[in-house]
Amino acid sequence: MYWHYDKLSEKNGTIFVHLAAESESEYTAIYENHGGCERGYFHTEDKVITIPKRTNDDIEIAIPDLILKNNNEKEILLIEGKKSENVQLGIQELEPYYIIENKIILKEYVDYKIDRWVVLYGDIVPDIFQKEYVLFQLFSNGKVWINSKAPRDFKNMINKFIAN
């Protein structure tokens, strides 16, 4: 069989959030790199950019799986997708995102606040400390968990998407 439903991949969580964002919400995906797919392009207000793998001073640029923008709230969400059993690795991968923030995002979106989050897919529930970094979790049975500290528009987006 060439194609099959993937019921195990971290991309299930990030693609779910991406689809919710594209479904009449306040959010727009300005970059996507869902595991195993071709890297996307970074969308600014007036152009499309290929994010380099390294800066001009030869520093590696860590790239999240999904970047969402909310113009109304002037916020950008950097999202790293992981399987629920790899939540700690996802949290660790958030730290070097300061490079993409400073070298690329804030040059284009000067007045925006940036938050870094992990999105999970799977049934292992993170501990209390880990949950602080988890924006959203999609369980294998289709149920979801949204962090109470998630932006209001994000909560509304997910709830509206589920309701449809």
What pLDDT tens digit does each residue of the chain (164 aa) get?
A: 543 345 556 688 999 999 999 998 899 999 998 765 667 899 999 999 999 888 888 989 999 999 999 999 999 999 999 999 999 999 999 999 999 999 999 999 999 999 999 999 999 999 999 999 999 999 999 999 999 999 999 999 999 999 88
* Residue carrying structure tokens 């969400």: 77
Q: What is the pTM of this model?
A: 0.91
| AA letter at 24 | E
| Of 34, 113, 127, 100, nearest in space to 69 by CA | 113
In angstroms, rounded to a whole number, what is the distance separating the alpha carbons of residues 77 and 80?
10
Tokens linked to 118: 């992990």
- Say which residues have a Cβ less than 8 Å from residue 132's Cβ, sequence separation at least 6: 147, 149
SS3 state at 25: coil
